Amino acid sequence: MKKKILIIEDEQDLVKGLRLNFIDEGYEVIWADDGSKGLLKAQEEIPDLIILDIMLPKMDGLEVCRELRKKNISTPIIMLTAKGEEVDKVVGLEIGADDYMTKPFSIRELLARIKAHLRRETRENKRVPDIYRLEDLEIDFTFFKIRRRGKESDLTSLEAEILKYFIAHKGEVVKRDVLLDKIWGYEKFPTTRTIDNHILKLRKKVEEDPSRPKYILSVYGEGYRFLGK
């Protein structure tokens, strides 16, 4: 079955180029030219991946991303940002985007990232249970939730995969390059800051005191170590 990609973008020339390349790669492509239509299509069409521009009519991409995550839609989202919109990139990652590309971008790079996210979505890690408990913390990988003493927070699909990898390799030093390869599925395009930003977000959800973590520890010059039962 073909993987379905939803493009939420109002630049028609860009959409035409993306559609041609995606179809050549064997993907089914659907499109929305404003944020409101995109939000509706994401819920109705159930795509395998979403390409989401930040600057959109009616509802901007950040709000679309926020609403999708509120509705527990964990579809991987690659956000498109204009050059220099560093703040928007950070906010996008914080509200649940899985990745971002800065315009203008290489179509080859975008295709590599799409393939990596789709591989990650279909990969299973049988060593990690659907519900993982750690003291008073419960991580629900089925519904992408973290619960502690009655309080609940959402996980993005990418955060869930990072946690699964940590749990499967608990006690080991996991290098940043290994995480980029195993989770993102590519090595050349992102920087290790990509990992560090996601770890900062994960600590806010997993650790009681993110400034003094006891589960996700930094290993200077190497990467991270997860300590759990």
Ordered by where they begin, the domains of the chain are 4-122 (3.40.50.2300), 131-226 (1.10.10.10)
Q: What is the pLDDT of residues 70-80, one digit of tens each?
A: 887 878 899 99
d(CA 190, CA 177): 10
162 contacts: CB under 8 Å, gap ≥ 6: 179, 183, 198, 199, 202
Question: What's the pTM?
Answer: 0.63
Q: What is the pLDDT of residues 193-221, one digit of tens each?
A: 778 888 998 999 999 999 999 999 999 88
CB 6 within 8 A of CB 51: yes
Structure tokens at 82: 């204009």
**Whats the size of the chain, residue-wise?**
229
3-state class (DSSP) for residue 143 = coil
Q: What angle do CA 43, 121, 132 make, to 5 degrees?
A: 100
Q: What is the pLDDT of residues 135-148, one digit of tens each?
A: 889 999 888 889 99
Q: What are phi and psi of 192, to 5 degrees?
A: -65, -15
